[in-house]
Structures are given as C-alpha cells and as structure tokens.
C-alpha cells in the first residue's frame, strides 16, 4: 500500500477483516390454509352449483383459502367484509380446523399449492367447494 504525505495509512481489508454475521435460518413459513363451512343456502346460488357438478347431496359446502394471518382472524375479516369473499361473508358458518390444521404453517408457495390441492381433494370427496 502506498501512502501519500500527510494522510494516515488505512489497514487493508485482509489485515482487518470484518466479522461475518450469521445468516438467519430460512423461516419455516407463516402462511396457512383454512376451510370455512358454508351454509347449505349457498346451494341456492347458481354460480356455486355450476362450479360443483360433482357435489354429493348431504356433504358439506366449504370455502378453501390461504392467508398470512391466523385463520380465526381471517375468518373474522371475511365476516366483517374486509377483503371478504362474498360466499364466506354471506354464508360462512365456522372454520373446520380438522380439515387443515395438520398442514399449517408453511411458506407462501407451499400454501398456494396446498390451497389448490385441498380444494381438489375435497371436491373429489363430494364436497361443494369454492376457492377465490
């Protein structure tokens, strides 16, 4: 390292290394899928019926969604009309945690995929399913 007159020398980077920060672990995710039971009155909605040709009479009607919030908070927001799905706002009865708790929490992309897979699985079981 050359020095200029009147200017103090600075140590080079390899003489005075900065301490390395530990890299944070990848988060396991905070997104969740959830299932809301809908009132049977949703079967009076032609669009819902049209989208569920394989619905088996007597099976539950549900909404399948995903969120970065706690499902209870998200359900309350639906019912309050905050970023709400119209079917959940009008026909939502309660959450069905037995159908989704085992999968949560998860990273965002896993939640996107799981929402689709869960809806397909429930439709295959004869449920009436709505997804946004």
Bond prior to 105 in cis (omega within 30° of 0): yes
Q: Which pLDDT belongs to residue 4?
A: 59
Domain ranges (residues) in the chain: 32-131
Q: List pLDDT tens digits, range 43-68.
A: 999 999 999 999 999 999 999 999 99
Q: List pLDDT tens digits, range 2-47.
A: 555 666 565 555 555 545 555 554 557 899 999 999 999 999 999 9
Mean pLDDT of all residues in 93-103:
97
Whole-angstrom distance, CA of residue 132 vs CA of residue 102: 22
Whole-angstrom distance, CA of residue 123 vs CA of residue 130: 9
Please check whether residue 112 is in contact with residue 33, taking contact to mean a CB–CB distance below 8 angstroms: no
Q: Which pLDDT belongs to residue 18?
A: 47
First to last CA, the chain: 64
Residues in contact with 124: Cβ distance below 8 Å, sequence separation at least 6, in sequence order:
54
Whole-angstrom distance, CA of residue 42 vs CA of residue 60: 11
Supply the pTM of this predicted model: 0.79
Mean pLDDT of all residues in 76-90:
97
């Amino acid at each position: 390292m050359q020095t200029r007159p009147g200017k103090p020398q600075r140590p080079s980077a390899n003489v005075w290394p900065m301490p390395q920060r530990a890299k944070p672990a990848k988060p396991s995710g905070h997104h969740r899928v959830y299932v809301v039971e809908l009132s049977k009155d949703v079967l009076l909605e032609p669009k819902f019926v049209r989208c569920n040709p394989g619905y088996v009479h007597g099976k539950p009607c549900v909404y399948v969604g995903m969120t970065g919030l706690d499902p209870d908070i998200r359900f309350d927001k639906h019912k309050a009309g905050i970023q709400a799905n119209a079917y959940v706002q009008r026909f939502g009865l309660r959450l069905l945690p037995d159908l989704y708790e085992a999968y949560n929490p998860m990273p965002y992309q896993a939640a996107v995929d799981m929402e689709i897979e869960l809806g397909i699985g429930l439709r295959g079981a004869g449920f009436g399913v709505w997804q946004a």
